[in-house]
Amino acid sequence: MPVTHLDIQTTAAVAANRLPTLQVTDLRFTYPDGLEALKGVTFYIAPGEKAALVGPNGAGKSTLMLHLNGLLNGQGQVNVAGLPLVKENLPVIRARVGMVFQNPDDQLFSPTVFADVAFGPLHMGYPEDEVRQRVARALAQVGMADFAHRLSHHLSIGQKKRVAIATVLAMDPQILVLDEPSAGLDPRGRRQLINLLRDLPLTMLISTHDMLLVQELFPRMIMMDEGQIVADGQTAVLLNDKSLLEAHGLERPVISSQ
């Protein structure tokens, strides 16, 4: 079993007196039908870190991500920049954790792109001028500055995904959490997404089956299976462990020669 990233980094983080952006401790969750989806998950994400969450279907990745902003509530602890995830902190936590779902239509429900991106800041109580500034900044960050008055449902899937990211960027999150961001994208849209994620100066946790994306963008890989973290370390090291990947239903990415 590889030495965990948590073991290596905790001492350094404490020494630097920097709180983890995300700290999950002994998180457990059982669905009403008795399925034990999370079995004592513990890890943290340091400020500025970009990590990939990988594993086979049913590993618990989606269940874990739904705990990070309180959509599910299991046993254990979740802290965002030192703030515990409890009921009274939910509004602040949900601004700090920028959650982007796999299907952008789950987040885009307003008539225009501008209205979708403005929704969060408006409900946070910012004045109109501040909302407009946040919308303009977020759309510029994702390369959609000229689309503010377009109808969201007329956009391509790649454009919708970028707008969905803008809806959380407008709230100045401390961590960006994305579920399968490259799913459904054509090669051009996928490359645009990769470039966007590379350039965003944000702490990130990305759940994905796209191992080429992981290899290209994420220095750290957290591997889940059967509700537990089974490996957590440098992506380059874990991707070279063929037996580990095979044991947990993963494959080393193969770069096409075309």
Q: Are residues 186 and 245 in the same domain?
A: yes
Q: Mention every residue, 6+ apart, whose C-beta is less than 8 A from residue 89.
A: 83
| 3-class state of residue 231 by DSSP | strand
| Mean pLDDT within 94-119 | 92
Give pLDDT tens digits for 205-215. 999 999 999 99
Q: Are residues 74 and 190 in the same domain?
A: yes
Evaluate whether residue 166 is within a structural domain.
Answer: yes
Tally the domains of the chain. 2
Q: Are residues 167 and 65 in the same domain?
A: no
Average pLDDT value over all residues in the chain: 89
Above 70 in pLDDT, residue 16? no
| Mean pLDDT within 214-243 | 95
Q: Which of 114, 147, 172 is the last residue of a domain?
A: 172
Q: Are residues 146 and 182 in the same domain?
A: no
Amino acid code (one letter) for 129: D
Identify the CATH number of the domain in which residue 41 sits: 3.40.50.300
| Mean pLDDT within 54-82 | 93
pLDDT at 8: 40
Q: Which of 172, 190, 220 is the last residue of a domain?
A: 172
Q: Are residues 38 and 139 in the same domain?
A: no
Cα angle, residue 44 at apex, residues 212 and 17 outer, rounded to 5°: 125
- Could you list the residue range(s) of the whole structural domain that residue 186 is in? 1-81+174-258
Q: Are residues 119 and 226 in the same domain?
A: no
Q: Are residues 11 and 61 in the same domain?
A: yes
Least confident of 135-149, 221-235, 240-254: 240-254
Above 70 in pLDDT, residue 244? yes
Q: Which of 151, 172, 193 is the last residue of a domain?
A: 172
| 3-class state of residue 111 by DSSP | coil
At 42, list the tokens. 């513990």
At 48, list the tokens. 């500025």
Evaluate whether residue 98 is within a structural domain.
Answer: no
Give pLDDT tens digits for 36-60. 999 999 999 999 999 999 999 999 9
